Chains A and B, each alone.
Chain A
């Protein structure tokens, strides 16, 4: 596309053209209206002049008959700038006046007419003029015509028409040039923004779109796009951090796996020893597979893609299942899970995911929440307004306030828990599951100990309030 073609295609230029057409129509309408009004005004003036003359002449006729009328008419004809006069006899013979030819039949009727005529000084030429005249029937069958030439009016019409076309020509010229100028300016800015966008697309995410500082719509657009770029940059950095963390956290079990294999190879030994080493390697590999599966699950939960089938279910039933699943494990440790669940509440949920969230919390409580003396874990369900709150609480060390926000991040394992088995993904997964269900996970102080509260929206409350 040529530079000019590009210019003609711009929105600014097309808008200018549209405005041009609108303004041209507007100008035409205004000038036309003015011309019309002026014509009306002139016609009125002519008519009243004619009116007055006819009145004067018919008075003369009344006083002195046809002779007097002819005399006065002859007198008036001689004055400069005289009107048009014609007096005819009852048989249509011209008696006096300066008109030698009229449109045929112009004298037939009384009243105002517009007609062509020739006056006596046109005798040598064949020139016709336009006149506005009035025919008056005098008593006695004589007819009197008084008229005024319309040359002035015609001149005005010409002037008006010329003015209209001249101004239209200027309008088109200035409009086109202005449009091109504006379009060029806009095009330059858009080209600058496009150029920057190309740079950004090439991979330089730190670049921003140029602002002109005029706070116009293009600036606002560029500003918002810049804000969007800022956000993308943040997300990319965040993503990089997460993947860095993942790489780091997966390195540890991989190194361990490699060490087991390496050790077995170096030391050799009996098939039994080799067997054991291989089994340890398998265990580590299975652990890694679990971590990957958990990561994938969390990612899909966070993307909102793993919801599966949501059905109404009673959180108390799911909690009972999980407590039943974990009770023997707790008893092994001399611990008890004390359940105080309000039954009959209904949530719209994927039963298996919610079960997994409960399981993760109970698992955490059993792993990190038991002390020498306090070996009870409580699991409560109660309705709080439009939500149901499921809390799993222990009397262990709890989590310090500064750590509460980050403990749901992936792979975060607090000091003192690193020596125990676990991947640091349990709470992340529980939180992702809660978010998917429109709920939230809160970390609270059980004084002493930790209380994790899962708040989920109730179905009947949704119906009532939704």
Chain B
């Protein structure tokens, strides 16, 4: 599973901060809290954190300036921006300022957790850049677009390829429906119904049908995860 992460939460609302610290520690991570921008900046600069969660509106130093300051100091810890403002233009501004992901309040913690865990992996690099992605016996060749399980080739559509590629890049991590829509279809909105689920069930029928050990798992209340359950 996911290795424990050190997370810094920079958030001025004590209730949400306390909730996040508790929720992240229950998920097996270590979370610290800074209550204002300046304090957060100092902690982020000095402490070795895996991921920063930064509220956009902070006292003393606003979130975007904080991120800009860190990036100027060549501190490239992945940052997830939390915003009550929401909407596309803010998202674009946030990402331009050096943020790596963006989430609008109100959000479900499962969404935040999934995104933070994916961010940490991005920092590590590694598997994400490999030419051939492997999960158990499933192999995806990113150059030839060839998919095999236990050596047998499976025909997939281009979109299914991208879906699977994203899942396998983040094998062992939960990815939410919104994340899939963002990274596979390149649209940022909340898929209203089970559109993504239908795509996933098609994909599942292709890669898991006829095998004892399923690789593609539905995580209730969160999203999906591809993982080698044999290990």
Tell me the A residues contacting B by CB distance below 8 Å.
Answer: 279, 282-283, 285-286, 289-290, 292-294, 296-297, 300, 305-309, 321, 324-326, 328-329, 332, 350-353, 355-356, 359-360, 363, 367, 421-422, 426
Contact = CB atoms under 8 A, between A and B. Distances in A.
A308 B88 contact: yes
Contact of B88 (A279, A292, A329, A353): A353
B89 interface: yes
Contacts of B28: none
Contacts of B107: 289
Contact of A326 (B92, B181, B195): B195
Given A293-B86, A352-B189, A359-B192, A286 B198 contact: no
Nearest to B203: A328
Given A279-B220, A289-B106, A355-B187, A350 B88 contact: yes
Given A325-B195, A329-B193, 6 more contacts: A293-B86, A300-B87, A307-B88, A353-B88, A421-B193, A422-B192
Contacts of A325: 181, 185, 191, 195, 199
Contact of B106 (A292, A321, A352): A292
Nearest to B197: A329
Contacts of A332: 198
Interface string B162-191: 000000000000000000010001011111
A308 B195 contact: no
Interface in B77-125: 86-89, 91-92, 104, 106-108
Q: Which 3 A-B pairs have the closest CB atoms?
A: A308-B88, A308-B89, A306-B87
Given A283-B221, A289-B106, A325-B185, A294 B88 contact: no
A54 B102 CA distance: 113
B108 A297 contact: no
9 contacts: A297-B87, A308-B87, A309-B89, A328-B195, A350-B88, A352-B187, A352-B189, A359-B191, A422-B192
Contact-residue bracket for chain B: 20 to 34
A294 B106 CA distance: 11
A307 B89 contact: yes
Interface in B217-231: 220-221
Contacts of B198: 328-329, 332
B159 interface: yes
B144 interface: no
A279 B159 CA distance: 31
A322 to B, nearest CB: 8
B73 interface: no
Contacts of B87: 296-297, 300, 305-306, 308
Nearest to B220: A279
Contact of A363 (B106, B181, B192): B192
A285 B108 contact: yes
Nearest to B195: A329
A321 B190 contact: no
Given A325-B195, A328-B202, A355-B189, A309 B221 contact: no
Given A329-B198, A356-B189, A297 B92 contact: no
A294 B195 contact: no
Nearest to A363: B192
B231 to A, nearest CB: 26
A241 to B, nearest CB: 24
A352 B88 contact: yes
Contacts of A282: 108, 221
Nearest to A420: B193
A279 B219 CA distance: 11
B185 to A, nearest CB: 6
A305 B85 CA distance: 10
A230 to B, nearest CB: 32
Contacts of B189: 352, 355-356, 359
Contacts of A283: 221
Nearest to A331: B198
Contact of A286 (B89, B159, B199, B221): B221
A426 B220 contact: no
A42 B70 CA distance: 97
A324 B202 CA distance: 14
A34 to B, nearest CB: 75
A209 B181 CA distance: 55
The CB with the most chain A CB atoms within 10 A, among B86, B92, B104, B189, is that of B189
Nearest to B189: A356
A457 B200 CA distance: 36
